[in-house]
Amino acid sequence: MESKKRRGILERLNAGEVVVGDGGYVLQLERRGYVKAGHWTPEAAVEHPEAVRQLHREFLRAGANVIQTFTFYCSEDKLDISGNVTNITGAQINEAACDLAREVANEGDALVAGCVSKTPCYVKSHSEPEVKAIYKKQMDDFLRKDIDFFIVEFVDHVEEAVWAVEVLKTSGKPVGATLCISPHGDMRGVPPGECAVRLVKAGADIVGINCHLDPLTCVRTVKLMKAGLEKAGLKAHLMIQPLGFHTPECNLGGYTSLPEYPFALETRAMTRWDMHKYAREAYNAGIRYIGGCCGFEPYHIRAIAEEMATERGFLPPASEKHGLWGAALEMHTKPWVRARSRREYWENLLPASGRPKCPSMGTPGDDYEKQLESNIPT
């Protein structure tokens, strides 16, 4: 099936369809041994395409309608700062990532989103021409591969996101813009509602939140964005791709300020049943593009797709190997396990950590805020 024959992202959202996004890549590939923590750069698209391709496939099988290019932190200034890429250019990574995403998207009815993220240049120089030139270079790479639409992601200053949107809109492609901010606003205190207004006025077709905080916190933030748009008399589709971890501390810097980041987050991992609740909350809030970011594994995306099965009219291929709400446990030999083959059990379960001295919450540090204040590139 050729991508040009597929309905685009705006056609689907305008029709009221639920679009399921994919999940997180850098954390998953770091855990699998293909990404270096701290650097978080995506050279694996060139060095280990089989690993990236496999993760794309798992998200597609789980029910994703969109395959994002694995191009997080792929601006040349970030690659230079990381020091991890000495013989691979950003253009080479972008090209390889687009090819991988398109190859897998063509295996189903999925679209390819070309993704750009925040640049160290913004915090370092705060130069609009320099920042826009970086986004323009990435955009040109993606346009040569004819991606379906753009996503601006992982930006914590709305001003930078606006600059990115203004550049990407010159492509003629639809643009989604997701900020990694809390309900308190961006890193300069711009409220979520005002952030949404600025993004839409810049030309964003889809606005929302990604990463940094847990799903229900991100739903709260998107609701504030929606209210801001309504007050301003503006319209845009809403999108959400949060963390796959519990972060009830809800601090401004997000999960990077937690003591467990990035190597001890397993105790905060959300279950598939948490994802059912998240998907329903997001849908009830009027959000129709529902996906995930760091911490989201394919089974989490499958849970979203299963919760939205009635609205979408189908189950994903991965559900062939999963009994809804534990139904497959009816075949278990042990009666106490068979008793768990029902929705009520899993909806009311309070999972234990198994760690006798494990606190229910951590004490977030303020290193992230200090880093921004000192103008050190992140």
Residue ranges for the known binding site for Zn(2+) are 211, 293-294
Binding-site residues from annotation = 211, 293-294
CB 332 within 8 A of CB 338: yes
In sequence order, the 6+-apart residues with CB closer than 8 A to the CB of 296 are 22, 23, 24, 241, 243, 244
* Residue among 28, 27, 10 at smallest CA distance from 19: 10
List 182's β-bridge partners, or say none: 185
- The tokens of 312 are what? 């979408």
- Indicate left, alpha or beta for 323 from its phi (over 0: left) and psi (-120 to 50: alpha): beta
